[in-house]
Chain A
Amino acid sequence: MTVKVLFFAGLREALGTGSEALALPAGIATVGALRDHLAARGQAWAALASMKNLRVAVNQRMVGLDAALKAGDEVAFFPPVTGG
């Protein structure tokens, strides 16, 4: 299945990209598995696994790493928010 992955703020800058369409290998069914899959690219991507306060939204709602994924989902990774 294919999902749309988004990155924001410092994470977007560190990774050098704000979004990509990603065809997931079989077996990647949760946000946490997707996070690990991306982190395995190494270098800057490893930050996804080591960031203590990584936040994730699926289809624009904040979720935990155990959230399930389905084809067409929009998955956003970002640091804790700092608005206001």
Chain B
Amino acid sequence: MSVSVQEADFDAGAEIAALSAGRDDVGAVASFVGLVRADKQTEKVGADNTAPVQAMTLEHYPGMTEKALDAIVAGARGRWELQGVRVIHRVGRLVPGDRIVFVAVASAHRGEAFAACEFIMDYLKTRAPFWKKEETAAGGRWVDARESDDHAAGRWESGSD
């Protein structure tokens, strides 16, 4: 079970430990935890709309989400020699400080682990069907996709990793 989409929180430490439990060939585990930030300024709605985020709701496309994440993990495994991968993405309503996403990669050496962790996050941002809706004092608003995320994923396709 390398990919989970769930409402429940996760224990990053336990997930990291599980990747190397009972084996002696793992030399590196790189991990990433994404959190809900309160200070995000809403974009493209005028200078007056800078209310802090009070909560956000994550919607997803059940079925496709898991397939997309599996495909991203398979892509990482095709590029690097990996010993274990764990991806958890939460859905539902979250508040600032809550964990949203977890990615951890185990490999023999740190280079593969760092690179694969970043690769998975970059593709998750652009290929996995999740959508965030922010709640502020001014109301609800769907988050716009960012071009910088497309660029981040695109660099893995240029062969310059």
C-beta contact mask, B109-136 vs A, less than 8 Å → 1, else 0? 0000000000001001111111111000
Give A13 to B133 CA distance when docked, in angstroms. 11
Question: For the complex, is B63 an interface residue (Cβ under 8 Å from A)?
Answer: yes
| Stretch of A27-35, A42-50, A64-72, A73-81 with 4 or more beta carbons under 8 angstroms from chain B | A73-81
> If the complex has contacts A8-B129, A83-B89, A84-B101, are A57 and B64 also in contact, measured as CB distance less than 8 A?
yes
Q: Are A8 and B125 in contact (CB under 8 A)?
A: no
Identify 22 residue pairs between A and B in the complex whose beta-carbon atoms are under 8 Å apart, listed by A's number. A9-B133, A9-B142, A10-B133, A10-B142, A57-B64, A57-B129, A60-B63, A60-B64, A79-B131, A79-B142, A79-B145, A80-B126, A80-B144, A81-B125, A81-B127, A81-B130, A81-B131, A83-B101, A83-B129, A83-B131, A84-B34, A84-B89
Question: Which residues of chain A from 1 to 55 have a CB within 8 Å of any chain B CB?
Answer: 6, 8-10, 13, 53
Q: Which residues of A contact B (CB under 8 A)?
A: 6, 8-10, 13, 53, 57, 60-62, 76, 78-84
Q: Are B132 and A6 in contact (CB under 8 A)?
A: no
Q: Are A76 and B64 in contact (CB under 8 A)?
A: yes
Q: Are A82 and B143 in contact (CB under 8 A)?
A: yes
Q: Select the residue from A61, A78, A79, A80 with max chain B CB neighbours within 10 A.
A: A80
